[in-house]
Each structure stands twice: as C-alpha cells, then as structure tokens.
Amino acid sequence: MTLQILEHALFSDGKSYDLWWSLLSRMERYSFFHTPRWAELLANTLPDWRPCHLWFRFSDGTEAVLPLFAIHKQFGTSKLESLPWGTYGGLISPDSLSWDHYRQAATEWLSLFRPVCHFLLSPADYARFRPSILADPTVKTQERCTHILPLNRPFEEIWSRRFQPRNRTNIRRAQAQGVRAEWSNSREAVLAMKQLYQRATHRWEGVETIPEQFFDTLVDLPGEEVRIWLAWKDDALLAGNLVFSGKGEAQYFAGASDERFTQFHGSKWLMSEIIRDACERGFSYFNFGGSGGLAGVEQFKRIFGGEAVPYASITWRHPIARWLSR
C-alpha cells in the first residue's frame, strides 16, 4: 500500500508543543536540536525566519514532527530549512520511519513559492537511509562529517584509553597552573562568552558564525539542556564552550578562546571537564559537531578520542525548480 499523509498541521495554527514533547518522551535518543526549546531560541534570534513547524499523521499510523523555518528569498519565494547552523533537522518520531516518510513530508510542503526544502540529517538517520538517499534522483546530497565520542565507559577509562598522551599532559599542566573550569548560565557568564566569541570571530575567515544576539537568549536556561562552560586563569578568561543536551547525547555547539593565553591549555582542560560532566550525567555519546573542513578543528576532536562519523545535507526541489536548475 502506498504511504500517504492523512493529516498535517502547523504548530502555529493551534497545535501545542506538548504534542512535540510527547513524541520526544517516547524516543530512546534525540538531540537538543530536535526539541521545541531549540525552535524557540531560533525564532527569538532570527526574526526574518518564519517558523512553520509541522505535525504529520501518515496512513501507516506513524506520527512525526518536522521542525521547519521559511526563509524569504527573491520574488516572494521562500526556502524551507530544517535546521540552520549545522544542527540536525528532519523528521522527529518515536515510530519506525522509512525514506518514504521523509519524501512525503518534504514534498508535501513544496510549491512554486516554496521551491526548496533543506534538511540536515543526523548521523543515525543518514546511516539508516543512506542507500535510499543515494538512489533517490529527486534529492541533492552533500555528505559532511562530525566527530562522536562514545561514553559507554567510566570517564577514567575514557581519559586513559581515548585521550591522546600529549593531550593528557597538557591538561595536567593546565590544572597545575591553576586553570579552573566551570559552567554557568548566569547573565555574567553569557556576557563573558559573548564577548570572547566576538573577539575570536574577528580572526576567523570563511567560517559561519552565529549572531551575537543569540547568546542573550541563553540567560538562565535550564542546565539540563544548556551549559556555558568557561575556563579561567585568575581573572583572565581563556576559553568558552556552549554545550547542548538532549536525551542520551550531549553536543558541543560553539566555542572560542583567547589566543593570548594558549600556553595555559584552557581549551583542552575545559573540553576534558565537559566530557567528564557528560559521563557523570549518564549520556551515551558526546557529539563534537561539524568541523567545516578545518583540519585543526578536526585534530582537536581526535585528541579527545572523537571518531569521524558522516551525516548529510539533503535538498529537495520542486520539479519545476529542478528543471530550471539543469
């Protein structure tokens, strides 16, 4: 029997986020980026992006949520995005999904005024659907890479077996030099992280950065979901990282360091404490996030034992848009 969409509705038309949270509660693992909290943070940061998050019920009884934003383009058209800044989008469901569910959900919302729909599939989804994706002539696929550290052992064992020896030495040096690592979502911590990130972006070239106002949305958010980690030497801020937590998985999202203080190895000590914290909180995986093809960033993740894992950027186009782009 051909799969069909029986019902679909926009959350902005009265569907409650309680339904979204209910689906998540039945899942064994999900990213923070699959939660309504992330959708709300984006809506508060990107006023030109119109939320159009969708709920679907399919003919096989499956229910799913598709977080989606409409980005205005030329001539009154919009591009549909799920989700920005290298974060995982796609269908969210506790039920077993097929590639047909994805195809139906994506093409249902395409039109001449919404000719493009873009997903970033998580490593787990990409691994499950990769053969179908590569065989599907209606989509354009770009494979990317993240690094993931399994946390299925105590931190002490991860430290001794996964961290590279020189990395462990540098972390011990940071400790010996009095570097402290701590997290806080206070207004003061958010401001410190924001200013550090602002200074660091001035020396980055060709790297996508997040808007400065995004940091202001993080003040006093629950530590179970968001943690701003800072490394200090006396009163000097050495490094900062932003970590988001879902169910079963903690993920690094953004970070920066002060290049004047690299001799204190604050970034390495900070990441070590973040991984320790993720272990103690019972997460199964730590996701270092995409590296944007930067060799130095990839090497930093490897010294902590991060394993390269592919994920994918998937783009659907309306048939007429596909024809025009040939």
The verdict on 85 and 171 lying in the same domain is no
Query: What would the two tokens of residue 134 be?
Result: 């590569």
Residues 110-128: tens digit of each pLDDT: 888 899 999 999 999 999 9
- Regarding whether 225 and 101 lie in a shared domain, the answer is no
β-sheet with 63-66: strand ranges across:
5-10, 54-58, 63-66
- Whether residue 293 is contained in a domain is answered as no
Q: Does 128 share its domain with 244?
A: no
Please tell me whether residues 118 and 228 are part of one structural domain.
no
Kindly state whether residues 53 and 167 are assigned to the same domain: no
Specify whether the CB–CB gap between 72 and 48 falls below 8 A.
Answer: yes
78 shares its domain with 165? no
Give the model's pLDDT for residue 294.
74
User: What is the model's pLDDT at position 324?
Assistant: 64
Query: Do 157 and 127 belong together in one domain?
Result: no
Specify whether 122 is located in the same domain as 23: yes
Note whether residue 301 is domain-resident: no
Query: Residue 240: which CATH number?
Result: 3.40.630.30
Q: Is residue 297 part of a domain?
A: no
SS3 label, residue 322: helix
Query: Do 81 and 68 contact (CB within 8 A), yes or no?
Result: yes
Query: Residue 296 domain-assigned?
Result: no
Quote the pLDDT of residue 276.
98
Q: Would residue 43 count as lying in a domain?
A: yes
Q: Domain of 160?
A: 153-283
Pairing of strands 116-121, 307-317: antiparallel
**Phi, then psi, of 7 in degrees rounded to 5:** -145, 150
Q: Same domain, yes or no, for 119 and 176?
A: no
Cα distances (angstroms) measured from residue 318 to each of 110, 113, 134, 252: 6, 10, 18, 34
**Per-residue pLDDT tens over the stretch 247-279:** 999 999 999 999 999 999 999 999 999 999 999
Q: Are residues 276 and 157 in the same domain?
A: yes
Domain for residue 273, yes or no? Answer: yes
- Specify the pLDDT at position 275: 98
pLDDT of residue 291: 78
Q: Across the 326 residues of the chain, what is the mean pLDDT of every consecutive 10-residue run?
A: 90 81 95 95 92 95 95 87 92 95 90 91 94 92 95 96 97 97 96 94 76 93 96 96 97 94 96 98 95 83 96 89 66
pLDDT in tens, 136-177: 988 999 999 999 999 999 999 999 999 999 999 999 999 999
Give the residues across from 81 on adjacent strands.
Answer: 69, 118
How far does Cα 46 stand from its chain's mean position?
16
Between vectors from CA 81 to CA 79 and to CA 82, what angle results, nearest 5°?
A: 160
pTM over 0.75: yes
CA nearest 35: which of 18, 56, 53, 20? 20
Question: In this structure, is the dihedral angle defined by the CA atoms of residues 235, 171, 289 and 262, taken in order, positive or negative?
Answer: positive
**What pLDDT does 142 receive?**
94
Pair 243, 126 in one domain: no
Residue 203's pLDDT is 78
* pLDDT at residue number 323: 64
Q: Are residues 24 and 139 in the same domain?
A: yes
Q: Decide if 241 contacts 274 (C-beta within 8 A).
A: yes
Name the amino acid, one letter, at 243: V
Give the count of domains, the chain.
Answer: 2
Residue pair 34/24 in contact by the 8 Å Cβ criterion: yes
> Quick one: which of 131, 162, 172, 125 has its CA closest to 146?
125
